[in-house]
Amino acid sequence: MSPGPDPSVILSLLGGGFVAAFLHAALPTHWLPFTLVGRAQGWRPSRILAVVATAGLAHIIATAAVGALIVAAGLALDRWIEGLLPHLAAVLLFLFGAFYLTRAMLRRAAPADAAPPPAAVSDKAAVWGLVAMMAVSPGEVLLPIYLSTAPQGLGALALLTLMFALGTVAGMTVFTALASAGASILRLERWARYEGAVLGAALIVLGLIVATHQH
């Protein structure tokens, strides 16, 4: 009989999933468009944050859909090669972590000046455009964590999706609120370039957790 879910591994993956989602939301593509469009449309902060939350949830739904396909494929492969899935998940986490860490180290600082706000369009078009932008771009960096959590069962996958949603919406909300409130003094665009390094290190740590808890 295979061992049951390991609570320590589940907690580590859930915590790591929340942190990874929050850090991923620090990318300017996850908050800067909302700030610029909201400013151009003359939206109140509450309206901007409502759109952010909606778009963030659409982003996670797309990520979960792609993640489900990856998990299904991984489980099917695991039936053919016993015990492959945990090793594959650890390897993917290492590779993604190394990729983001290396890219962050090699990437030069991007210009701090943001593009000018676009011309105002109808509110409905602006809202759906922002939501669609996030819905068609699932969080690729979160996908290996789905594969890592698959051996722990469907309940753990559901909890992980919830952590992704909370981390993503929280991150997008925090950074959009800061930028919309005129916190340019924080130079969020410059700080965001360190997101790749921190995210890469976090994924490598998750890979170590998965690798060290294999039997």
Q: What is the number of structural domains in the chain?
A: 1
User: Can you give the pLDDT at residue 168?
Assistant: 93
Cα separations in angstroms, 163 against 12, 14, 84, 89, 154: 12, 6, 26, 19, 14
pLDDT at 134 over 70: yes
Structural domain for 204, as ranges: 7-212
Closest among 3, 58, 5, 11 to 34, alpha carbons compared: 58
Average pLDDT over residues 125-153: 81
Give the pLDDT confidence score for residue 56 in this predicted structure. Answer: 93
In this structure, of 112-121, 125-134, 180-189, 197-206, the range with the lowest mean pLDDT score is 112-121
Residue 149 has pLDDT above 60, yes or no: yes
Within-domain flag for 51: yes
Q: Which pLDDT score, from 0 to 100, does residue 203 have?
A: 63
In a domain, 82, yes or no: yes
Task: Report the pLDDT averaged over residues 116-127.
Answer: 66
- pLDDT given at position 195: 58
For residue 2, tell me if it sits in a domain. no
Q: Is 93 contained in some domain?
A: yes
In the structure, what pLDDT confidence band is assigned to residue 69 with cuts at 50, 70 and 90? confident
Can you give the chain as a three-state secondary structure string?
A: CCCCCCHHHHHHHHHHHHHHHHHHCCCHHHCHHHHHHHHHHCCCHHHHHHHHHHHHHHHHHHHHHHHHHHHHHHHHHHHHCCCHHHHHHHHHHHHHHHHHHHHHHHCCCCCCCCCCCCCCCCHHHHHHHHHHHHHCCCCHHHHHHHHHHHHHCHHHHHHHHHHHHHHHHHHHHHHHHHHHCCHHHHCHHHHHCCHHHHHHHHHHHHHHHHHHCCC
Tell whether 132 is covered by a domain: yes
Give me the pLDDT at residue 110, please. Answer: 47
Q: Is residue 1 part of a domain?
A: no
How confident is the prediction for the chain on average, in pLDDT? 74
d(CA 96, CA 24): 13
Looking at residue 171, its amino acid is G
Report field, pTM of the whole predicted structure over 0.85: no
Q: Tell me, what's the pLDDT at 86?
A: 59
Split at pLDDT 50, 70, 90, the class of 36 is confident
Cα(160)–Cα(166) distance, integer angstroms: 10
The torsion angles phi and psi of 80, rounded to 5 degrees, stand at -85, -35
Predicted confidence (pLDDT) per residue in 71-120, tens digit: 887 666 655 555 555 566 567 667 766 766 776 677 654 444 444 444 45
Asked if the structure places residue 111 within a domain, the reply is yes
Residue 81 in domain: yes
pLDDT score, position 76: 67
